[in-house]
Amino acid sequence: MADLITLTGLRVRGHHGVFDFERRDGQDFVVDVVLELDTAPAATSDEVGDTVHYGELAEGLAAVISGEPVNLLERLAQRLADVCLADPRVEAATVTVHKPQAPIPLTFADVSVTIRRVR
């Protein structure tokens, strides 16, 4: 069983969605990721270079969220998973993209899409 590194609640403004006003006005997206990897090398060395630097990971994810718009959360989640899996130490990544301000004309708490990708 792999170890886990979890980053939750990364909030970044993006312009994703199928409606013109979503692309124009933007909204906040909240992302959670769980990385599966072996953290034993970092535990032994106590060196950040032997693990996933979660600050750099957050910056890479934020660049995708604030970057080129997509229509669907599914596609955004895949792009974020690709960022996670760019580090060869990551065996699998679970990504949840929340869209708490989705254009739904009813009262709701959240809409999200979760994907898991394995190397």
Q: Which residues contact 40 (CB under 8 A, 6 or more apart)?
A: 3
| Among 2, 5, 14, CA closest to 73 | 14
Q: How far is CA 11 from CA 27, 38, 42, in A?
A: 10, 27, 27
Write down the pLDDT at residue 2: 86
**Tens digits of per-residue pLDDT, 50-84?**
999 999 999 999 999 999 999 999 999 999 999 99
Check pLDDT > 70 for residue 1: no
| pLDDT tens digits along 87-118 | 999 999 999 999 999 999 999 999 999 999 99
Return the pLDDT at 94: 98
Mean model confidence pLDDT for the chain: 96
CATH of domain 3-118: 3.30.1130.10
Q: What letter would DSSP give residue 109?
A: S
Q: Mark whether 48 is an active-site residue.
A: no
- Catalytic site residue from 2, 34, 99, 106: 99
Domain definitions of the chain by residue range:
3-118
